[in-house]
Amino acid sequence: MSAWFGDIYRTLFKIELAVMFQYRAAVVIWLIGLVLQPVIYLVVWLTVAETEGGRVGDFDAGSLSAYFLIMMVVNHATFSWHMWEMGYRVRSGSFNSLLVQPLHPFHRDIIQNMAYKVLSLAIVLPVTALLWWFFEPTLTPEPWMWIALGPAVALAFLVRFFFEWSLALLAFWITDTSGLNNLYMALFFFLAGRMAPISLLPSWGQAIANALPFRLMLAFPVELLMGRLTPEQVMDGFLTQILWIGLGWLTVHLVWTRASARYSAVGA
């Protein structure tokens, strides 16, 4: 069973990679958005730090740069776009071809996501290096933080993927999900640490961010690598991440059967 699964993953990965390679320009264009936004907010916060005598909250120029550049990479590693696509798939009937395959569409999306990440890494890494050189961040992680980073990012990806895929499934009930997606993006923008490090939010904002899964999708690995978390807090984060993944898996599992039962293929 697992060998069969591995074969499927490997083959589909090759296919998706070839497809992505066809649209190299599109891959690059998406990246511009991913890179530019963190840089804009880094510059805004650097300006704040400068007017406030070099510090803002518990950050100085070097650590702000480190935060936003690492966040940029983690965001790239964990983001997905399937919630924007699902509505189109349902409306246009292009979901049909996925449904007849003997594989949960969830896997196909994960593979597609991985193919995109692998291909775009070829650009993300040099761009990050260049920005690193420009902004001169200060970062002194201990070895255990590097080791913990891998699982933290992988789990963050899964938390985010399950959450966004559950959100995507709403497209089976609501025709136009773009409003809902925008609302999610707005919450994510503040509560996941994209707009600012969470410790710079007002205290009630921090409380909300800590209660919801958003922080674990993005800010958690960044804070980990920056040495802002104790080993206990990191373990805590891992456990909460796994908890959210379990919850996400359950949601996808329960909603999926209902969603696919509702689906009436258009254009068949």
Contacting residues toward another protein, per CB under 8 A: 23, 25-26, 29-30, 32-33, 36-37, 39-40, 43-45, 47-48, 51-52, 56-57, 134, 176, 179, 182-183, 186, 189-190, 195-196, 200-202, 205
CA 120 – CA 55 distance, rounded (Å): 34
Least spacing, CB of residue 109 vs another protein, in Å:
19
Residue 8 vs 123, nearer CB to another protein: 123
Residue 7 vs 52, nearer CB to another protein: 52
CA 211 – CA 205 distance, rounded (Å): 10
Buried b (16+ CB within 10 A) or exposed e, 47-59: ebbeeeeeebbeb
Residue 134 vs 146, nearer CB to another protein: 134
CA 119 – CA 141 distance, rounded (Å): 27
Residue 56 vs 218, nearer CB to another protein: 56
Residues 6 or more apart whose CB falls under 8 angstroms from that of 15 comprise none
CA 99 – CA 21 distance, rounded (Å): 25
Least spacing, CB of residue 41 vs another protein, in Å:
9
Cβ atoms within 10 Å of 89's Cβ, excluding its own: 20
Residue 82 vs 158, nearer CB to another protein: 82
Residue 26 vs 265, nearer CB to another protein: 26
Residue 188 vs 244, nearer CB to another protein: 188
Least spacing, CB of residue 4 vs another protein, in Å:
36
Least spacing, CB of residue 165 vs another protein, in Å:
22
Least spacing, CB of residue 25 vs another protein, in Å:
6
Contact 12, 105 (CB under 8 A): no
Give the side-chain half-sphere CA count within 13 A for 164. 27
Sign of CA dihedral 213, 214, 216, 217: positive
Least spacing, CB of residue 102 vs another protein, in Å:
32
Q: DSSP of 52-117, one letter per residue?
A: TTSEETTEEHHHHHHHHHHHHHHHHHH---HHHHHHHHHHHTTTHHHHTSSS-HHHHHHHHHHHHH
Nearest to 240 by CA among 148, 149, 155, 150: 155
Least spacing, CB of residue 164 vs another protein, in Å:
18
Contact 78, 253 (CB under 8 A): no
Least spacing, CB of residue 170 vs another protein, in Å:
16
Phi-psi category of residue 53: left, alpha or beta, with phi > 0 → left and psi -120 to 50 → alpha: left
Residue 12 vs 171, nearer CB to another protein: 171
